[in-house]
A and B are shown apart, each in its own frame.
Chain A
Amino acid sequence: MPDVSLAALAAQIFTGLVLGGIFVLLAIGLSLIFGLMTVVNFSHGALYMLGAYAGYVLITYTGSFVVALVVAPLLVGALGLFIERVLIRPLYGRSPDDPLLLTFGLSLVIVEVARIVWGKIGLTLDPPRALGGAVNLGFTYFPTYRLFVIAVTAVVLLGLWIFLEKTNVGLVIRAGSRDPLMVRALGFDVGRIWFIVFGIGAGLAGLAGILAGPMRGAYAEMGVTIIIESFVVVVVGGMGSLVGAVVSGLLIGQVVSLTTFFAPKLAEIVVFITMAVVLLLRPSGLFGEAGLLE
C-alpha cells in the first residue's frame, strides 16, 4: 500500500484532470454527433490520431507550437466536414448500423494511410521549451505542459458552452440533439447543422490529438484504445448529453487515476466496471434521456 498522504492524493487528482480533459474533448464530439445525427462515429479515434500527426507536421514546418495547436484542429475539422458531406450524408435515413460500419471502415483506412505516410514506427513530439519543465505546486512537482492542457481544455469548453448557449446556431444544435424531428418540422436545414456539428466534433478530436501528442507521442494506433474508452465516457454520461460528456469524462479520468494509485492491476478494467455500475443504476447514463436509440 502506498503512502496515502494528502499531497500524493492531490497530485493524483491533478493527473486525473489531464486524463479526464482529453476524454472530455473526445467524448463531447462523439456525443454531439451521436445526439444530433444518431451516428456512432467510429473514426473519431483516427481523427484524434490525425490531430497528433498534423501537429507534428506543423511544428516541423512552422517551428511554432501555437500555430500547430490552432491549425491542426482546423485541418482535422475540415476533414470532418469532407467526411460528412461525401461519405456520411448519403447514408442518412438508413439504419444507424450503416454509418457505424462506414466510419469503422474509414478508421481502418485512415490508420493504414498514416502508416504509409508517417511509417509504422511512432514519432515523438516535444512540448514547447517554455512548457517543458515541471512546476512546484507546493505539494508535488507537476509537468507545466499538463497544466497547460488543463487550461486549454477549460478554455475550449467555455468557448463551446458560450457557442451552444448564447448563439442561434447553438440553440438549434441543442434543440436538434433533444428532438431532431421537431427541429426539422420547424423548417430548419438539419443537413447544414449536421455538417457543422460533424466538423466541430472532428476538430475537437484533432485538438485532443495535438494536445496529447507531446505527452504520448504520435503513432498510427493511438486512437484504437482511446476511442473505446471515449465511448464508455459517452455512455456513462448519457448518449447525446453534453453536460454528461463533461461530467463523465472528468469522472472517468479521476477513477482511472485513483485506481492506478490504489490498485494498479485494476486500472485497465475500472473504466468498464464504472460503466456497468452506472448502467445498472441509471440505464440511460448519468444525464441521458431514455429512448434515443429506439
Chain B
Amino acid sequence: MHRRTFLTTSVAAAAALGIPTILRAQSKDPVRIGVPLPLTGPFAAIATDMKQGAELAVDELNARGGILGRKVEVLFRDDQLKPQVGAQRTQELIEKENCQFIIGGLAAHVQMAINEQTKKSKVLFISTSQSDEISAKPDTSPITFHEALNPTITSRVVGKWVMENLGKKWWIVYADYAWGKQNNAVLTEVNKKMGGTVLGSTPYPLGSAEFSAHLPKIQAAKPDVLVSVTPGADNIAFLKQVASFGMRSQMKIAQPLHWISVAKQGGPELYDGIYAGTNWYWELQDSIPEAKKYVEGFQKKFGIPPGDYSCYSYSGCLEAARGAELAKSTDADKVADALRKSPTYNHLKGKQWWRTCDNKSFQDMWIVKGRGPGKTKGDWGLLEVVARVPASEDMDRTCAEKGFA
C-alpha cells in the first residue's frame, strides 16, 4: 500500500468511526457515570461497598425513568490506590467512554488526581472520600463537589468526644499520606486546645501489614488512649497486632472512623469496645425512614446491609441526577449551579446540604462502638450507636479559612 493511500484510508476510517460518536452523543444516548475506585489493594473491601452503592443508585434511577429521560449507565475502573492510575482511568472514562459525571475516589491523594482531570475536561466531579483539600482553594473548583466527611470534621468531632469520655493522654498512629496526616494534625490540635497531651504520634506507610516495631514504645509510654488512624485492611492488621502485644487491657482505643465492611472482616472480638466516628450505620434504619428504604433496597440487591462508604457513592449518584434534572442538562456548570441554587437533599440519613462557597456537603455524623462477641445483632450488627452529632457548618473550617473571600 502506498503511503498516501494508507494515510487517506486511515483518515477516512477515523472520520467514519468518529462522526457517529458525535451524532450518538447528541441523541437519546445513555447518561454515563464513571466511578474510579481502588478495587484492588488495602481499600478493596470499602471500594466494593462503594461500587454496590453506585449500582443500586443507578438501578433506582433507571426504574424511575433515568436522567432527563435517558437511561443511566455506570462504569467502574480500578485506580489501584495510585494517583497516576486514578488520573489515567478518569481520563479514559471521560474521553473514551464519554462519561458525563465522575463520582468516586477513595483516598485523599487519589481524588486530587481525579479532580485535576475532571477540572481540565469540565466534567462534574462528586468526590466520595475524605479530604480537606478537595473542597478548599486552590484545589477545588466550581464543578467539584464533596459528598464525604473530611478529616477536619471527623477528627474535631471524634477528638472532642474522646477527650471528654476516654482520656487526655494520647498516642496517635497514622498512615503517612494526605488523609492520615490531616487527621493527625486536627486530632493534635483538638487535644492541645482541650488541655490534653499527645505523648507521641507515629506515621507508617499506607498499605502496611506490619506494625510490631511501633508497638513496644507505645506500650512503654502508657497513654490513656491509642488513636488509630489506620484505614482499610491496615486497620485489621494494626488492631490484631496491638491485641497480640497484650495492649488491649492497658489502654483504650479510638479511631476517626469505623468501616463496617472492614470491621466485618476483622470480626467482633477485634473491634470489641473500640470507639470511632461514622457517617452512617445501617441500624440507623430504626430511627430514620430514608435509611430504612436504603437498607431494604441494598439488602434486596446484594443480600447484605450497606456499609458506611456506599452511602457516599449512592448519594453522590442521586445528587448528580437531581442536579441534571433541575438544570435540564448534563453540562457541568449548569448542574453545579442548579445544586448550589437548591442545596438541600435527603437520600438516606436525614437532611444534608451543599455549602455554596465550597460545594461541601454537611451532614450528621455518629459516634459508634464495637459491640463485642456474643452481643452483635446478626452478622453485620457489630456496632452500637453511642451518640449523634448533628450537622453544622461550624464543624468544618470557615469559607474564609478555606480560601473563599
Contact = CB atoms under 8 A, between A and B. Distances in A.
A15 interface: yes
Nearest to A125: B240
A113 B215 CA distance: 34
B45 interface: yes
Contacts of B244: 127, 132-134, 143, 145-146, 215
A12 B41 contact: no
A119 B47 CA distance: 13
Interface centre among A11, A121, A141, A143 (most CB of B within 10 A): A121
Nearest to B213: A260
Contacts of A89: none
B216 A140 contact: yes
A222 interface: yes
Given A121-B44, A134-B245, A265-B176, A217 B220 contact: no
Contacts of A215: 209-210, 212, 237, 240-241, 244
A131 to B, nearest CB: 9
Contacts of B236: 122, 124, 217
A268 B220 contact: no
B267 interface: yes
A19 interface: yes
A67 B324 CA distance: 59
Contact of A264 (B41, B214, B237): B214
A2 B247 CA distance: 18
A12 B217 contact: yes
Contact of A221 (B40, B215, B247): B40
B220 A7 contact: yes
B212 A120 contact: no
B217 A15 contact: no
Contacts of B204: 264, 267
Contacts of B45: 121-122
A287 B210 CA distance: 28
A104 interface: no
B216 A15 contact: yes
B219 A11 contact: yes
B246 A133 contact: yes
A8 B216 contact: yes
Contacts of B265: 121-124
Contacts of A8: 216-217, 220
B245 A18 contact: no
A44 B90 CA distance: 33
Contacts of A221: 40-42, 207
B48 A121 contact: yes
Given A120-B48, A134-B245, A146 B212 contact: yes
B233 A217 contact: yes
Contacts of B266: 124
Interface centre among B48, B209, B237 (most CB of A within 10 A): B209
A268 B202 CA distance: 13
B272 to A, nearest CB: 15
Given A120-B48, A121-B44, A122-B233, A2 B217 contact: yes
A216 B219 contact: no
Contacts, number: 118
Contacts of A260: 202, 213-214
Interface centre among B45, B176, B200, B217 (most CB of A within 10 A): B217
Interface string B183-226: 00000000000000000101111010110111111011100000
Interface in A203-249: 215-217, 219-222, 225
A142 to B, nearest CB: 7
Nearest to B78: A120
B295 interface: no
A141 B245 CA distance: 6
B39 interface: yes
Contacts of A217: 209, 233, 236-237, 240
A153 to B, nearest CB: 15
Contacts of B233: 121-122, 217, 219
Contact of A120 (B39, B202, B209, B221): B39
Nearest to B266: A124
A264 B220 contact: no
Contact of B40 (A3, A18, A220, A257): A220
A5 interface: yes
Interface centre among B220, B221, B245 (most CB of A within 10 A): B220
B246 A141 contact: yes
A115 interface: yes
A122 B213 contact: no
Interface string A127-164: 10000111000001111011000000000000000000
A140 B267 CA distance: 27
Contacts of B39: 120
A141 B213 contact: no
A216 B212 CA distance: 10
A18 B176 CA distance: 23
A3 B176 contact: no
Nearest to B201: A264
A15 B40 contact: no
A41 B236 CA distance: 30
A216 B237 contact: yes
A259 to B, nearest CB: 8
Interface string A1-27: 011010110011001101100000000
A261 interface: yes
A2 B221 contact: yes
A11 B216 contact: yes
Interface string B239-263: 0110011110000000000000000
7 contacts: A2-B200, A15-B212, A122-B233, A141-B219, A219-B42, A219-B209, A222-B209
Given A12-B213, A134-B246, A141-B219, 7 more contacts: A19-B212, A19-B213, A146-B244, A217-B209, A221-B42, A261-B213, A264-B203
Interface pairs A-B: 9 shortest CB-CB: A134-B246, A11-B216, A216-B209, A260-B213, A143-B244, A141-B246, A120-B44, A15-B212, A2-B217
Interface of B: 39-42, 44-45, 48, 176, 200, 202-205, 207, 209-210, 212-217, 219-221, 233, 236-237, 240-241, 244-247, 265-267
Interface of A: 2-3, 5, 7-8, 11-12, 15-16, 18-19, 115, 119-124, 127, 132-134, 140-143, 145-146, 215-217, 219-222, 225, 256-257, 260-261, 264-265, 267-268
